[in-house]
């Protein structure tokens, strides 16, 4: 792969390892994070640190963003010292955040007026996938820009699909989050039931993970619950945010989506009642509370 000038804004649980893979692949990397200390591990490995997103854009031909929500992305792009101030015509911005599909299309149109392509490229695979470089990446936006940056995405992604025009990546992520949230709820509720019955959870898992109940959530989150490990691979408050985005889109479409409404309410309740920073496996701690 040709050495490229790459930027990365947002070095959290997902972004930090992703940026590290780009650096390991030999690219010239410039990074920025609102909490500067998160840049230190990459700085020690040879990355440069920009004073603002604008500085990152000015030093890069392709910039990745990985932040929490729609207002965060808007601020990184268009706020004072934002990427739009430093990006030059022909550059590409790849937003790996999970945000509003409608806002994504608006941001893309705004950047296109200055000759900058914006791709929405949300992720699935969690912290494990980010560390191992095996993320699934669903991309919306200009197909030519996608092909240009695909070799960079391959540094941290294993399955990479172009889903359609701007916003299509975000809508695909919504499908993923609806299914994931319902799986997590089913997993947590099943284990909460087993606990109430006084059952041996290790034995229960040996049975149900190999049967029709088997799922990614059961295989990856249930053992953490058994160990009492609620560290966030994907925190509760972000799952609540993602489901809010799903409901916003659903309200435009109409139809019956009772499962999405239920999980959004429960994850929001969990996030607002002291469980916000636990991983989504912490849903069982909400279910353990007296009804």
pLDDT in tens, 254-290: 999 999 999 999 999 999 999 999 999 999 999 999 9
Domain boundary among 115, 134, 165: 165
Distance CA 261, CA 242 (A): 12
Output the domain CATH number for residue 247: 1.10.1040.10
- 28-46 pLDDT, tens digit each: 999 999 999 999 999 999 9
Residue 1 has pLDDT above 70, yes or no: no
State the catalytic residue, choosing from 173, 203, 241, 252: 173
Is residue 173 part of the annotated active site? The answer reads: yes
Burial annotation 27-39 (CB, 10 A radius, 16+ → b, else e): bbbbbbbeeeebb
Domain boundary among 133, 165, 197: 165
Domain boundary among 165, 200, 218: 165
Note whether 125 and 192 are same-domain residues. no
- 104-122 pLDDT, tens digit each: 999 999 999 999 999 999 9
Note whether 161 and 177 are same-domain residues. no
Asked if 108 and 100 touch (Cβ cutoff 8 Å), the reply is: no
pLDDT at 233: 87
Note whether 103 and 179 are same-domain residues. no
Q: CA angle at residue 211 from 210 to 214, to 5 degrees?
A: 75
Output the domain CATH number for residue 62: 3.40.50.720
The overall average pLDDT reported for the chain is 97
- 158-213 pLDDT, tens digit each: 999 999 999 999 999 999 999 999 999 999 999 999 999 999 999 999 999 999 99
Note whether 136 and 195 are same-domain residues. no
How many domains does the structure of the chain reveal?
Answer: 2
Give percent of the chain with pLDDT exceeding 70.
100
Asked if 235 and 278 touch (Cβ cutoff 8 Å), the reply is: yes
Note whether 11 and 136 are same-domain residues. yes
Q: Which domain holds residue 239?
A: 171-287
Note whether 201 and 266 are same-domain residues. yes
């Amino acid at each position: 792969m040709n050495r490229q000038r790459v930027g990365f804004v947002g070095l959290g649980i997902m972004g930090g390892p992703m940026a590290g893979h780009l650096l390991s692949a030999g690219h010239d990397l410039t990074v920025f994070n609102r909490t500067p200390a998160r840049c230190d591990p990459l700085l020690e490995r040879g990355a440069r640190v920009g004073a603002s997103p604008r500085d990152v854009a000015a030093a890069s031909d392709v910039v990745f963003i990985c932040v929490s929500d729609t207002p965060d992305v808007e601020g990184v792009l268009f706020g004072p010292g934002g990427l739009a101030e430093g990006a030059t015509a022909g550059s590409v911005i790849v937003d790996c955040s999970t945000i509003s599909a409608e806002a994504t299309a608006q941001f893309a149109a705004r950047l296109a007026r200055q000759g900058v392509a914006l791709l929405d490229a949300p992720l699935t695979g969690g912290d494990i996938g980010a560390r191992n470089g095996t993320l699934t990446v669903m991309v919306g936006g200009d197909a030519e820009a996608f092909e240009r940056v695909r070799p960079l995405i391959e540094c941290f992604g294993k399955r990479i699909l172009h889903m359609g025009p701007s916003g299509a990546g975000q809508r695909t992520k919504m499908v993923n989050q609806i299914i994931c949230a319902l799986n997590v709820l089913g997993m947590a509720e099943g284990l909460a039931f087993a606990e109430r019955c006084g059952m041996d959870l290790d034995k229960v898992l040996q049975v149900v993970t190999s049967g029709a109940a088997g799922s990614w959530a059961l295989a990856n989150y249930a053992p953490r619950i058994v160990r009492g490990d609620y560290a966030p691979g994907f925190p509760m408050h972000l799952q609540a945010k993602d489901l809010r985005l799903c409901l916003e889109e659903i309200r435009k479409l109409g139809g019956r989506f009772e499962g999405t409404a239920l999980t959004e309410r429960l994850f929001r309740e969990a996030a607002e009642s002291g469980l916000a920073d636990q991983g989504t496996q912490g849903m069982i701690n909400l279910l353990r509370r007296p009804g």
